[in-house]
Structure 1
């Protein structure tokens, strides 16, 4: 063990905290990437990007929102 119980617990707390923080960082980063998957794909392939597809998607979302409001 280390010099004292306090020092060993300080060392353990530091490294466990760092490992947990890095794990949470990777989880949140992967979640962000998966949420913006379509936008990243469009950004990565500008030659296949068409404004018309974006407009259709916005119109589809607007139609869905209007449908939900009509149901309410």
Structure 2
């Protein structure tokens, strides 16, 4: 025995339950956002990126800096 159900065979069970046919539609916005822009919209409490500060020089680096400045001074000193 075969039972006949109302609705289109193409719509299947959704047609039987009265659901509308879902079809792809054009996006509402003219210009779509890319994923990076969407992520930016949802970032709350976003802190700006801090620029790294140079560290203080240790004793060995200070000594090397002084030695280089002495050599530089000798290089650019007026010749006698």
TM-score norm. by structure 1 comes to 0.30
Q: Structure 1 or 2: larger helix share?
A: 1
TM-score norm. by structure 2 comes to 0.28
